[in-house]
């Protein structure tokens, strides 16, 4: 059985990817320190998988712990061995991800994101595991222009969070023995199999409404904020600027369904397992741009809910447009997004209304 360690498995993207891999027959070691997630998401994954209790015990091991803890990581590899299995690959989601916070706590971001990844890679190498799919971000490109972004565009992050993602990409390409950190596909002379996936704007939820995005603090991102305004948790949305050089003056982004992102991880992992040692750097986005006002309109059409909003000043570090050119992902891992913005709105809203307070809902069934 293919055996994968997933760090940050209880989080937004980790939970959806874990469910997908579970249903695809993988055995999973799910590691999280729950600093930005709830263990309830892992219970729900097990329930959604429709496996029997015995199968769940066989196929899922949950490890509460930190990626910076080398001995815990080594114990995890050893536990797999003691069960007659070998962890042959890692999907690495764990990390800190709030751009604003990364200015105030830059050291924490470098310690967790870069230090944590370094520790993870050491544990992997020691245990002869050299396949990793890493959560990178469109934020590595920095300020963007009107054009869609392609992997060969300059990496030039403008905030500490983005700088840590760019640094990890460099660390991974160095380990792979590759020269470039902007080439979508390179051979790895050192024998690693690596995929850095640069997500654009993941949003939405599993169609069941059982797992979804549940940020611990006030969300920074537009989509969870729209949902929380819709459900009455917040009074109104402040749109950051209506004077951008776009069709309606509001920022344009590339929103991609979280299940499409999950499928991108499976596609990357399956490709790495089959191929010679390589290092991939790929955008995961739809290539379609949507403004804030357009998203509010599509949300209304998909859910019937009108979102109250007001205009405020631009947010520091924002850009007018951030749009993926996703053609390299199609070429190298045969992935493209399948779901629409209406699917994102419908599924995200289903999650929000089924769990108005997220996993902490007092009426939670768990």
Q: What is the 3-state secondary structure (H, E, C) of 179-246?
A: CCCCCCEEECCCCCEEEEEEECEEECCCCCCCCCCCCCCCCCCHHHHHHHHHCCCCCCEEEECCCCCC
**Per CB under 6 A, does 36 bind ligand UD1?**
no
Distance CA 174, CA 172 (A): 5
Residue window 162-201: x/- pattern of binding to ligand UD1, with contact defined by CB under 6 A: x--------------------------------------x
* Residue 136 in contact with ligand UD1, rule: CB under 6 A: no
- Shortest reach from residue 283's CB to ligand UD1, in Å: 12
Whose Cβ is closer to ligand NAD: residue 102's or residue 277's? Answer: 102
Select the residue interacting with ligand NAD from 14, 224, 230, 285 (CB under 6 A). Answer: 14
Q: Is residue 322 involved in binding ligand UD1 (CB under 6 A)?
A: yes
- Angle 40-49/12-23 helices, nearest 10 degrees? 30
* Contacted entry of ligand NAD, ligand UD1, none for residue 225, CB cut-off 5 to 8 Å set by kind: ligand UD1
Q: Which H or E run contains 309?
A: strand 309-312
CB atoms within 10 A of CB 298: 17
Q: Taking CB under 6 A as the rule, does residue 318 contact ligand UD1?
A: yes
Regarding 33 and contact with ligand NAD (CB under 6 A), the answer is yes
Site for ligand NAD in 145-204 (CB under 6 A): 199, 201-202
Could you tell me if 284 and 197 are in contact, meaning their C-beta atoms sit under 8 angstroms apart?
Answer: yes
Q: Does 211 bind ligand NAD (CB under 6 A)?
A: no
Catalytic residue among 26, 141, 161, 255: 161
| Interacting residue with ligand UD1 among 139, 302, 350, 355 (CB under 6 A) | 139
Nearer Cβ to ligand UD1 (33/159) = 159
Distance CA 98, CA 107 (A): 13
Q: Looking at 20, 80, 99, 229, which residue binds ligand UD1 (CB under 6 A)?
A: 99
Residue 235, number of CB atoms within 10 A of its CB:
9
Binding segment toward ligand NAD, per CB under 6 A, in 64-72, 176-184, 298-306, 348-356: 64-72
Per the annotation, the verdict on 141 as an active-site residue is no
Element (H, E) at 281: strand 278-284
Of the candidates 166, 136, 124, 107, which has an alpha carbon nearest to the alpha carbon of residue 31? Answer: 124
- Contact between 66 and 33 (Cβ < 8 Å): yes
- Integer angstrom CA distances of residue 86 from 3, 15, 23, 140: 6, 22, 19, 33
Rounded Cα distance between 133 and 92, Å, is 6
* Residue 116 partner contact from ligand NAD, ligand UD1, none using kind-dependent CB cut-offs of 5 to 8 Å: ligand NAD
The catalytic residues are 161
Residues that bind ligand NAD in the complex, under the rule CB under 6 A? 7-8, 10-14, 32-37, 66-68, 93-97, 112, 116, 135, 137, 199, 201-202, 221
Residues that bind ligand UD1 in the complex, under the rule CB under 6 A? 97, 99, 137-139, 162, 201, 220-222, 225, 237-240, 251, 253, 292, 315, 317-318, 322
């Amino acid at each position: 059985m293919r055996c994968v360690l997933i760090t940050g498995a209880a989080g937004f993207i980790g939970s959806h990817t874990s469910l997908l891999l579970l249903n695809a027959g993988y055995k999973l070691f799910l590691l999280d320190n729950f600093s930005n997630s709830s263990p309830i998401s892992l219970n729900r994954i097990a329930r959604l998988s429709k496996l029997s209790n015995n199968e769940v015990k066989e196929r899922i091991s949950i490890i509460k712990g930190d990626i910076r803890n080398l001995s815990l990581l080594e114990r995890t590899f050893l536990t797999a061995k003691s069960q007659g299995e070998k962890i042959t690959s890692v999907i690495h989601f764990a990390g800190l991800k709030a751009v604003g916070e990364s200015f105030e706590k830059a050291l924490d971001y470098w310690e967790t994101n870069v230090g944590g990844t370094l520790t993870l890679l050491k544990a992997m190498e020691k245990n002869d595991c050299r396949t990793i799919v890493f959560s990178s971000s469109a934020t590595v490109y920095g300020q963007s222009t009107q054009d869609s972004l392609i992997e060969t565009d300059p990496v030039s992050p403008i905030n500490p969070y983005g700088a840590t993602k760019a640094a990890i990409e460099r660390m991974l390409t160095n380990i792979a023995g590759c020269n470039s950190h902007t080439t979508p596909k390179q051979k790895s002379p050192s024998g690693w199999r690596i995929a850095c996936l640069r997500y654009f704007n993941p949003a939405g939820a599993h169609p069941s409404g059982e797992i979804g995005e549940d940020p611990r603090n006030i969300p920074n991102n537009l989509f969870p904020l729209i949902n929380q305004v819709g459900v009455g948790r917040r009074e109104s949305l402040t749109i950051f600027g209506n004077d951008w050089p776009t069709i309606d003056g509001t920022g344009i982004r590339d929103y991609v369904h979280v299940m499409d992102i999950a499928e991108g991880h499976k596609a990357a992992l399956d490709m790495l397992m089959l191929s010679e040692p390589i290092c991939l750097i790929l955008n995961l986005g739809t290539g379609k741009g949507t403004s804030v006002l357009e998203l509010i309109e599509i949300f209304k059409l998909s859910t019937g809910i009108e979102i109250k909003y007001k205009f405020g000043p631009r947010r520091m570090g924002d850009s007018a447009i951030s749009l993926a050119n996703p053609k390299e992902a199609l070429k190298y891992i045969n992935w493209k997004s399948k779901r629409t913005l209406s699917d994102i709105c419908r599924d995200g809203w289903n999650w929000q209304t089924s769990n108005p307070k997220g996993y902490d809902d007092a009426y939670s069934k768990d």
